[in-house]
Structure 1
Amino acid sequence: MEFLKLIGTFLIQPLLWLGILWTIICYSLRIRGDRRNFKIALNKDFFEIRHFIKRGILWGIVGSLISLIIGCYLPMKIIVLYEILAAVAILCTSRIDLSTVPLYILGILAVLRHPTILPVILLLLGFNYFVKGRLTHGENTIWFTPQIKQNRRKRRLAVYRWSEFIVLPLMVYIPGTLMEKLFHFLPLFHFGEVHFGLFILPFFVSSAGRIRGEQIETRMQAVQKQNLILAVGAFVLAVVAWLLPHLGIWWIILMLALTVGIHLYHYLQVNKNRAQYIEVSEGIRVIAIRPGTPAAKMSLNPGDVILTCNNQPVMNENQFYAALQLDSAYCHLKVKTMSGDLKITEGAIYNDSPYELGIVQFRKLN
């Protein structure tokens, strides 16, 4: 019964419902953007809420077990401050990933006011980075909806954004006899004269960014690697902060330096790559594949350029669909990948419905 009440305190947390509400808003914005750019919704699947629930529960269980075993505890005033900062971070998720910023702020405050909880903050930061990397593990390219932009030369290009976030239930200890009065229904443990209660913290984790000139799979692998490095760095510094608490400010500075260094390195690496998902004059640039269509079963990827269709050169949308109608049941494509390699792919299509192939390209300008 007490455990059910504990779960109830999590289900009424404003941060959790803000996360659910923002997930719905992000889905609506994605569908609206698709219809503005392509006149149709490319992927009506509400995968955002499915990921939010499934991954939130999974990592909430894993994180809670680790937290209880290690003994992570936070004062209630730190929890309240975290939830306020995390709420602001959620509202920025569609544009920028700020899920670790509240923890960095709490880390600085811990050095100034509560040095004993700095190792806990660093552990939570490491857990955040680890889960952040797993949020983009195995991401399917159909979940990356293109947005149409213009470069400096006024040529159209596709930019891909991703925004995955969860508010997971993370169980932590809350110290102090005050908790008995304010939260008398919470399970309490007594170690001598020290009292600890249990609290389910709504823990916000997100992974967001954009892709302009990299292959989606390559970018996601880089994101996972970066977050794994940062997670390991935070875990190591948590142990060091526990052993050498009087040097706490230096551990925060070192963690910030590691974060900035990794992101700066990636920024410089990306700028070396001149390739973009840009509109081409020879062939047809594939910018997305609609799920559940014949094209989804072919080995096509965003960024590929279709050179020929059924052995006919194609330069625009009209030529492409005219070539498709040469064979009412099958489609044979010659394709150049983003890396410049040539490949042949083929597959069945819907009879008398070549427009339902499922390849998304730049719309013809009026």
Structure 2
Amino acid sequence: MDTAKELLWLGMDAGLQLLMQPFYYISIIFIALLYRRQVLLERKLFHVRLNGWGLQTWRTFVGGLAAGIAVSIVMAFLGISLTFAAVLCIWVTAIILMLFRVRFLCFAYSIGVLGIIQFILSWFPHWQPAGFIGDVKSTIVSMEIPSLLALAAVLHFAEAALVLLQGSKFATPLFLEGKRGKLVGGYNMQSFWPLPLFLLIPASGGGMVLPWTPFFGGNGWSSGFSVLVLPVLIGFGEMTQSMLPKQKVAVTSKRLVIYSAVLLALSLLAEWWSPLMIVTAVAALVLHEGLVWYSRYEESQRSPVFVNPTKGLRVLAVLPGGPADELGIQAGETILKVNGTLIHNKEQLHAALRQNSAFCKLEVQNHQGESKFMQRAIYAGDHHQLGAIVAPDPDDHLSVKMKPLSLIAILGMKLNVRNKQTVVSKPITDQVPDKQETIEL
């Protein structure tokens, strides 16, 4: 009971510390800017928005809060030794990495880099610089890299759960160029979650002792414990043309679980045998990059799903709350007939809908190839395609070009469009046909 009361008081104090830490607010603002950027892209491509950036930010805030509490509980038994100076060092490293790629805003990268730096510094034990550089060196050398990498592993377990539960809700439909120059539909899924961590750390002075001994820290826990608040940011980014968003996030989640398990096992072994620290730090970077590379390679080898078949129009996305959503039409299904007319392109879809301005009948082919029939009244203000975003036609003149996203690009918040004669300097995909307009984020 006394331990529970002590944990409660320390937790309340850590909560006040969180409110005074700028990194937590910065991460939420960064997430809001990212989702606002996605809304701008949706409006530019489809003249509508699928989800509001405020709602998306709220979802990630709540999901991150729940995941932060869960990670904090797990780390209470694993243990971690961390100082405020080390927290600053980790965050500064993460922000520097994010200047090059947003996806580098991951503690596996920043802690892995710091582990490599610590290993290099161990070659120069007699180098003792003065001033600020000396303080930074002392902080890096004193960091418990195995326990921090274990924290990164647990964070990726939490990320896997959040990706599975919420990842498909942040999918943005896009028009992209396929391997043969043909426009295809696809999805960009990118999301981040702010996690407030309340970490038990060994106390330097006397205090109440935990009734259990965490794995990392050893005898350091015999002098009592304290609570340190650490705001972190986790996230994922995936592009898919060959799977539905829910299928892609399920695959991504499984791979993240495997990565987390391997990293956690290596971290535990590195605590037992210190020479494995550098192996674990390098593995944190290499394996994570391997996941990114393999996902891209897998997409390049698979056939795109969101292309229009010989008969009908393939549904790329459905506007939440729109007519198509109310009718139960799902992404990946095919609209075959509208008011009895077989359709092959968007113009025929619009013409068939105009045959009856007050009512429509649809024949839709589901994922299993079976037809389902549905009907609905049409009201003033309804979306001109019943709230269904369909795969691009060959003569569509607007596509997206992907480029690795950096922090500077997000802060720029600028959308540029190129026409047939214009060349863009920072488009967003890998290739864009010369005869099409290209949106740049």
Q: CA offset at residue 22 of structure 1?
A: 1.3
Question: For 1:296 and 1:59, how far apart are their aligned partners in 2?
Answer: 30
- The worse-fitting range, judged by mean Cα deviation, of 155-164 and 356-365 is 356-365
Question: For 2:180 and 2:143, how far apart are their aligned partners in 1?
Answer: 55
User: Is the CA contact (8 Å cut-off) linking 1:118 and 1:248 kept in structure 2?
Assistant: yes
Q: Structure 1 residue 199 and structure 2 residue 228: aligned?
A: yes
What is residue 306 of structure 1 aligned with on the other side?
335
1:268-307 CA deviation, whole Å, 9 max, x = no partner?
4332212253466753232210001231144533343323
1:244 to 266, 269, 273: 273
Question: For 2:255 and 2:348, how far apart are their aligned partners in 1?
Answer: 43
Q: CA offset at residue 223 of structure 1?
A: 0.3
User: Is the CA contact (8 Å cut-off) linking 2:111 and 2:281 kept in structure 1?
Assistant: no
User: Is the CA contact (8 Å cut-off) linking 1:331 and 1:347 kept in structure 2?
Assistant: yes
Matches within 5 A, 1:45-60: 46-60=54-68
SS at 1:345 equivalent? strand
Question: For 2:199 and 2:59, how far apart are their aligned partners in 1?
Answer: 24
Amino acid at match of 1:26: L
Q: CA offset at residue 153 of structure 1?
A: 4.9
Cα pair distance change 1:58/1:20, threshold 3 Å: same
Question: For 2:169 and 2:386, how far apart are their aligned partners in 1?
Answer: 15
Question: For 1:64 and 1:333, how far apart are their aligned partners in 2?
Answer: 51
Cα pair distance change 1:108/1:199, threshold 3 Å: same
- The worse-fitting range, judged by mean Cα deviation, of 351-360 and 131-140 is 351-360
Cα pair distance change 1:345/1:358, threshold 3 Å: farther
User: Is the CA contact (8 Å cut-off) linking 1:78 and 1:106 kept in structure 2?
Assistant: no
Q: Structure 1 residue 146 and structure 2 residue 153: aligned?
A: no
What is residue 27 of structure 1 aligned with on the other side?
35
- The worse-fitting range, judged by mean Cα deviation, of 149-158 and 14-23 is 149-158
Q: Structure 1 residue 96 and structure 2 residue 125: aligned?
A: no
Matches within 5 A, 1:282-321: 282-321=311-350
2:153 to 119, 126, 129: 126
Q: How many positions carry a matched residue from both structures?
A: 354
**CA RMSD for the aligned pairs?**
3.3
Amino acid at match of 2:363: L
Q: CA offset at residue 51 of structure 1?
A: 2.0
Q: CA offset at residue 8 of structure 1?
A: 2.0
Q: Structure 1 residue 332 and structure 2 residue 362: aligned?
A: yes
User: Is the CA contact (8 Å cut-off) linking 1:171 and 1:201 kept in structure 2?
Assistant: yes
Q: Report the TM-score, using the length of structure 2 for normalisation.
A: 0.70
Question: For 1:223 and 1:282, how far apart are their aligned partners in 2?
Answer: 32
SS at 2:164 equivalent? coil
SS at 1:46 equivalent? helix
Q: Percent identity between the aligned chains?
A: 19
Question: For 1:146 and 1:192, how far apart are their aligned partners in 2?
Answer: 51
1:126-147 CA deviation, whole Å, 9 max, x = no partner?
1121112112213475542212
1:161-205 CA deviation, whole Å, 9 max, x = no partner?
11221221112245575xx9xxxxxx9767799575321000221
User: Is the CA contact (8 Å cut-off) linking 1:159 and 1:277 kept in structure 2?
Assistant: yes
SS at 1:342 equivalent? coil
Q: CA offset at residue 82 of structure 1?
A: 1.0
Question: For 2:60 and 2:221, how far apart are their aligned partners in 1?
Answer: 40
Question: For 1:173 and 1:307, how far apart are their aligned partners in 2?
Answer: 59
Question: For 1:262 and 1:150, how far apart are their aligned partners in 2?
Answer: 23
SS at 1:300 equivalent? coil
Q: CA offset at residue 67 of structure 1?
A: 1.9
What is residue 185 of structure 2 aligned with on the other side?
158
Amino acid at match of 2:31: T
Question: For 1:317 and 1:335, how far apart are their aligned partners in 2?
Answer: 17
5+ residue gaps, structure 2: 1-8, 123-139, 210-219, 398-441
Cα pair distance change 1:57/1:260, threshold 3 Å: closer
Q: Structure 1 residue 81 and structure 2 residue 110: aligned?
A: no
- The worse-fitting range, judged by mean Cα deviation, of 69-78 and 56-65 is 69-78
SS at 1:240 equivalent? helix
Q: Structure 1 residue 13 and structure 2 residue 21: aligned?
A: yes
Q: Report the TM-score, using the length of structure 1 for normalisation.
A: 0.82
Question: For 2:46 and 2:314, how far apart are their aligned partners in 1?
Answer: 14
Q: CA offset at residue 110 of structure 1?
A: 4.8
Q: CA offset at residue 155 of structure 1?
A: 3.2
Q: CA offset at residue 80 of structure 1?
A: 0.9
What is residue 256 of structure 2 aligned with on the other side?
227
Question: For 1:38 and 1:122, how far apart are their aligned partners in 2?
Answer: 42
SS at 1:96 equivalent? helix
Cα pair distance change 1:335/1:56, threshold 3 Å: same
1:83-107 CA deviation, whole Å, 9 max, x = no partner?
22333466677x5354131122233
